[in-house]
Amino acid sequence: MSGILEGKRILITGVLMESSIAFHAAKLAQEQGAEIILTAFPRPTLTERIAKKLPKPTKVIELDVTNDEHLGRLADLVGEELGSLDGVVHSIGFAPQDALGGNFLNTPFESVATAMHVSAYSLKSLTMACLPLMQNGGSVVGLTFDAQYAWPQYDWMGPAKAALEATSRYLARDLGKQNIRCNLISAGPIGSMAAKSIPGFSDLAAVWDHRSPLEWDLKDPEPAGKGIVALLSDWFPKTTGEIIHVDGGLHAIGA
Ligand SMILES: NC(=O)c1ccc[n+]([C@@H]2O[C@H](COP(=O)([O-])OP(=O)(O)OC[C@H]3O[C@@H](n4cnc5c(N)ncnc54)[C@H](O)[C@@H]3O)[C@@H](O)[C@H]2O)c1
Q: What is the DSSP string of 78-147?
A: HHHHHSS-SEEEE------GGGSSS-GGG--HHHHHHHHIIIIIHHHHHHHHHGGG-TT-EEEEEEE--T
In which domain, by residue range, is 161 found? 9-252
- The verdict on whether residue 1 carries a ligand-binding annotation is no
Active-site option among 154, 170, 226, 238: 154
3-state secondary structure of 63: coil
In CATH, what number is assigned to the domain containing residue 179? 3.40.50.720
- pLDDT 10s digits, 158-215: 999 999 999 999 999 999 999 999 999 999 999 998 898 888 888 889 999 999 999 9
Mutate to test the pocket of ligand 1, among 92, 122, 124 (most ligand atoms within 8 A of CB): 92
Question: Is the residue at 166 inside a domain?
Answer: yes
Q: 160 exposed, middle or buried (CB, 10 Å; 0-12, 13-18, 19+)?
A: buried
Q: How far is the CA of 14 from the centre of ligand 1 (A)?
A: 6
Kindly state whether residue 3 falls inside one of the protein's structural domains. Answer: no
How far is residue 32's CA from residue 201's CA, in Å, rounded to a whole number?
A: 33
60-62, strands of its sheet edge to edge: 60-62, 35-40, 9-12, 87-90, 138-144, 180-187, 243-246
Query: How many structural domains compose the chain?
Result: 1
141 inside domain: yes
Within 13 Å, how many C-alpha atoms sit on residue 52's CB side?
Answer: 5
Q: Which residues form the pocket of ligand 1, taking CB atoms under 6 Å from any ligand atom?
A: 13-14, 16-17, 20-22, 41, 63-66, 91-94, 118, 143-145, 187, 189-190, 192-195
**Inside any domain, residue 2:** no
Per-residue model confidence (pLDDT) at position 204: 87
Report the chain (255 residues): mean pLDDT per 10 consecutive residues. 94 97 98 98 96 98 98 98 98 97 96 98 98 98 98 96 99 98 98 89 90 96 98 98 98 93
The pLDDT value given to residue 57: 97
Instruction: Please indicate, yes or no, if residue 246 is contained in any of the structural domains.
Output: yes
- In a mutational test of the pocket of ligand 1, which residue from 11, 19, 21 has the highest number of ligand atoms less than 8 Å from its CB? 21
- Residue 200's pLDDT is 87
The predicted model scores a pTM of 0.98
Establish whether 161 is a catalytic residue.
yes
Q: Is residue 29 part of a domain?
A: yes
Within a domain: residue 92?
yes
Task: Indicate the residue type of 84.
Answer: S
Q: What is the model's pLDDT at position 253? A: 96
What pLDDT does residue 31 have? Answer: 98
Q: State residue 161's pLDDT score.
A: 98
End-to-end CA distance of the chain: 43
CA of 1 to the centre of ligand 1 (A): 32
Q: What is the pLDDT of residue 74?
A: 98
